[in-house]
């Protein structure tokens, strides 16, 4: 089932921004937030873009860790061409660390992850007994 945008003008603006309104001032977000809430097409595209951003960060993280493990393995076993293999492993680690930083800076993925964590923490707090909730510091409530 292919859907189309309910408001083509706002949909085109959001598409140009990769459905990211996190950088807009709160007073300017109203129409865009309402459109994302009402338009199934744009909301699904926003979810797709954030999913891609988060998957990119996960792949970059796993890749960087694997190159670091490879570096450790080369150091431990010290094969014949250890220096070349160590340099390759460090270059891979550096490359994927930079990829991770670029994705983190250029996309709203960290904000999305932080929002999800905040929502889940609030759900957990709501299930706590009242006595424990009252003892929590004000900053955590």
The model's pLDDT over 108-140, given as tens digits with 9 standing for 90+, comes to 888 888 888 888 888 888 888 888 888 888 766
Q: Tell me the pLDDT tens digit for each residue of 43-90.
A: 898 889 889 999 999 999 999 999 999 999 999 998 888 999 999 999
Residue 141: pLDDT band with limits 50, 70, 90: low
How confident is the model at residue 127, as a pLDDT? Answer: 87
Question: Bigger pLDDT: 91 or 1?
Answer: 91
Provide the whole-model pTM: 0.74
Give domain limits for the chain.
8-107, 108-141
CA distances from 102 to 56, 68, 73, 88, 123 (A): 10, 19, 28, 21, 32
């Amino acid at each position: 089932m292919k859907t189309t945008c309910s408001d083509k003008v706002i949909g085109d603006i959001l598409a140009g921004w990769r459905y990211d309104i996190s950088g807009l001032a709160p007073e300017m977000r109203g129409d865009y937030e309402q459109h994302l809430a009402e338009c199934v097409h744009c909301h699904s595209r926003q979810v797709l873009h954030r999913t891609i951003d988060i998957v990119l960060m996960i792949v970059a993280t796993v890749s960087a860790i694997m190159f670091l493990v490879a570096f450790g393995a080369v150091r431990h076993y010290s094969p014949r061409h250890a220096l070349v293999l160590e340099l390759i492993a460090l270059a891979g680690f550096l490359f994927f660390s930079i990829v991770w930083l670029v994705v983190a800076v250029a996309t709203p993925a960290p904000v999305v992850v932080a929002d999800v964590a905040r929502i889940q923490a609030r759900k957990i707090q709501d299930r706590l007994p009242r006595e424990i909730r009252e003892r929590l510091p004000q900053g955590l409530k």
